[in-house]
């Protein structure tokens, strides 16, 4: 009789243990589901879309997430699509794209991203609040970028990517040919909030744009006649850097209040006109040069092979272009425009707009229309 009681006790204990394990697993699953849902929010700027569960390779689920921030304006949307497509197809890493745009472009962008070739992309569409720029940008007809708010999205990375410690920012006029993981793994020195490609590197040495000053040092971007600039004691011959592609340590960025520092110099420029009158590049470059003076790391120059848009001619050999990790069409001649260098390389990654709103401008198209 006692033997039977022992068996009953053992059975009851086994059932209780089973129920405890089952309950624990249920709680773990519930917690996991809550984390999945809560990740869809953006603090600060408004999230419009979040696609968390696009198909990925099974081996990639536990990989570190690589946040890539890219701005997508209506008139350049094809550029952003080509850049995103090239990144996605050249990596097996867990990439998530933070696509920054304005409300009136969101539907157009969403329909494009839903096309079959882009179905595997994980992304968030974030609306950029233009009120952030009030009192910080002076409209200048000679500087078209001053009236394009998305140009300044790179200043607000911690708001755009609030839950990440590190992120990549890149312009929409690029094509990535290497594995983005290599760029993400760029080592940043202690105390450095970002890593850029310097303009004095061996690839883009001393490019001079006629009528626009030197595009490789500080004097090409800042007005050294202004007392406030001189008081900073920055050497005018200091090599500048290109802000179209960079890796950011967001923890350090927030610790140093980089965004506030950039906004400070934007306001001072509105009041005092601190930028060079023959600005040698993007209007976003001068405040970045000031804030990151001798306080930034560098990326491999092959990850920002630039000036492809400075003229319609070809400045690099086909072999070099093929070896480049990232091609950058900074300048007036964009690869989706009438004429540009290496358009065939760019078009390889371009996906036609399913809505028909965006179309490439090509010389042969114009000729055929005339005929």
pLDDT of residue 279: 74
**3-state percent helix, strand, coil for the chain, nearest multiple of 5:** 40, 15, 40
Where would I find the H helices in the chain? Answer: 2-38, 77-89, 103-113, 157-160, 180-184, 227-230, 250-255, 258-272, 285-291, 318-323, 343-347, 363-370
Of 29-33, 230-234, 308-312, minimum mean pLDDT range: 29-33
Of 36-45, 66-75, 182-191, minimum mean pLDDT range: 36-45
**For the segment 337-371, what is each residue's pLDDT rounded down to a tens digit?**
988 999 999 999 999 999 999 999 876 544 334 33
**For the segment 94-151, what is each residue's pLDDT rounded down to a tens digit?**
999 999 999 999 999 999 999 999 999 999 999 999 999 999 998 776 655 546 899 9
Which token pair is 345?
A: 């390389």
**For the segment 227-247, what is each residue's pLDDT rounded down to a tens digit?**
999 999 999 999 999 999 999
Report the candidate in 330, 188, 191, 325 with the shortest Cα–Cα distance to residue 255: 191
pLDDT of residue 50: 60
pLDDT of residue 15: 64
63 — pLDDT class (breaks 50, 70, 90): confident
pLDDT of residue 209: 44
The length of the chain is 371
- Greater model confidence, 23 or 154: 154
Domains in the chain with CATH codes: 66-348 (3.90.550.10)
pLDDT of residue 207: 45
């Amino acid at each position: 009789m006692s033997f039977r009681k022992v068996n009953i006790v053992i059975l009851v204990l086994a059932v209780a243990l089973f129920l405890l394990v089952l309950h624990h697993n249920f709680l773990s699953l519930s917690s996991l589901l809550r984390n999945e849902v809560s990740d869809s929010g953006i603090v600060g700027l408004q999230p419009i879309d979040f696609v968390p569960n696009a198909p990925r390779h099974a081996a990639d689920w536990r990989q570190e997430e690589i946040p890539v921030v890219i701005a997508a304006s209506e008139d350049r949307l094809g550029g952003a699509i080509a850049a995103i497509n090239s990144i996605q197809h050249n990596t097996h890493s867990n990439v998530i794209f933070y696509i920054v745009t304005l409300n009136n472009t969101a539907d157009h962008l969403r329909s494009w991203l839903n096309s079959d070739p882009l179905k595997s992309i994980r992304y968030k569409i974030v609306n950029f609040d233009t009120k952030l720029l009030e009192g910080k940008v002076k409209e200048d007809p000679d500087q078209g970028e001053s009236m394009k708010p998305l140009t300044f999205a790179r200043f607000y990375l911690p708001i755009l990517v609030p839950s990440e410690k590190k992120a990549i920012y890149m312009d929409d006029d690029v094509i990535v040919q290497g594995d983005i993981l290599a760029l993400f793994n760029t080592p940043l020195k202690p105390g450095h909030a970002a890593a850029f490609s310097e303009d004095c590197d061996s690839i883009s040495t001393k490019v001079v744009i006629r009528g626009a000053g030197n595009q490789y040092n500080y004097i090409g971007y800042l007005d050294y006649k202004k007392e406030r600039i001189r008081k900073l004691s920055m050497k005018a011959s200091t090599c500048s850097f290109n802000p179209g592609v960079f890796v950011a340590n967001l923890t350090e960025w927030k610790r140093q209040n980089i965004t506030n520092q950039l906004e400070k110099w934007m306001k001072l420029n509105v009041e005092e006109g601190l930028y060079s009158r023959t600005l040698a590049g993007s209007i976003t470059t001068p405040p970045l040069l000031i804030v990151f003076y001798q306080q930034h790391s560098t990326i491999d120059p092959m990850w920002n092979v630039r000036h492809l848009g400075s003229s319609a001619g070809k400045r690099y050999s086909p072999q070099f272009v093929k070896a480049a990790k990232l091609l950058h069409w900074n300048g007036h001649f964009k690869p989706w425009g009438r004429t540009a260098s290496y358009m065939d390389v760019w078009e390889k990654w371009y996906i036609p707009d399913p809505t028909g709103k965006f179309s490439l401008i090509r010389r042969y198209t114009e000729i055929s229309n005339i005929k």
